[in-house]
Amino acid sequence: MMSSSPSQRQLSPVDRATIRLDAVLKSALGPHLAHRPYPGKDIPDTVADPQLRKQIAGLMRVNHAGEICAQALYHGQAMTAKLDGVRVAMSQAAQEEVDHLSWCGQRLKELNDRPSLLDPIWYAGSFAIGAIAGIAGDRNSLGFVAETEKQVVEHLQSHLDQLPQQDSRTRAIIKQMMDDEAHHGGQALQQGGVLPPGPIKALMKLTAKVMTSTSRWI
């Protein structure tokens, strides 16, 4: 009797988890190539002062680390989601975060700077948090997304306030990121997300503060 091929037999939960983990690792460790145009492409880079460029690079390093976290959260949530529709939505959102990663990485290169050395730690920790959120149930997981994106938009707005007024190139990148994050949050609520309680929101803000304050310099 001929044995059935892996594609013909029904995949077990372990098989599906292994396939998902393989995709996650490839996405986390592979090159981050944007599917959409770079928002700063046609905008001149007008900031020449070395001190200002260093300040901008610090902000973009934080944003890059934040996108590492966002992608990891979505990967973790997709892995533990109960409903296929939620799993697909999480995977699609993670793909959009790849655009953000690419844009932040490109801006850092233009500024002759680098991403955070702690990015692997941020990814691992955020993946675990996302997986736990998914285990808590799809509605809670979607609510976690909505609150996360709300806090991210606030964080990005604070960066716009700190940027030199003449840096239109970086501003274009951050504004597009803000639009995308607000869209993700709105979608999560429309899909039935339940926002987390106050103490969880406060813990999320504290965790984000640790990440942002550290990534700016390391």
Mean pLDDT by 10 residues, the chain (218 residues): 45 58 54 78 88 91 87 77 70 75 91 87 83 79 84 89 90 92 84 80 81 80
* pLDDT given at position 128: 84
Residue 130 sits in a domain of what CATH number? 1.20.1260.10
Tokens of 203: 């813990």
* 8 belongs to a structural domain: no
Tokens of 107: 């801006």
Domain count, the chain: 1
Tokens of 63: 């944003």
Name the residue type at position 11. Answer: L
Give Rg (Cα) of the chain: 18
CB 115 within 8 Å of CB 64: yes
CB 146 within 8 Å of CB 193: yes
* 165 belongs to a structural domain: yes
* 27 belongs to a structural domain: no
Residue 27 to residue 99: CA distance in whole angstroms: 12
* 147 belongs to a structural domain: yes
45 Cβ partners below 8 Å, 6+ apart? 110, 169
Residue 14 to residue 29: CA distance in whole angstroms: 22
Query: What's the predicted TM-score (pTM) here?
Result: 0.78
* 29 belongs to a structural domain: no
Find the domain containing 129 and state its range: 47-215
Size of the chain in residues: 218
* pLDDT given at position 117: 86
* 31 belongs to a structural domain: no
* 56 belongs to a structural domain: yes
* 36 belongs to a structural domain: no
Residue 213 to residue 120: CA distance in whole angstroms: 16
* pLDDT given at position 6: 43
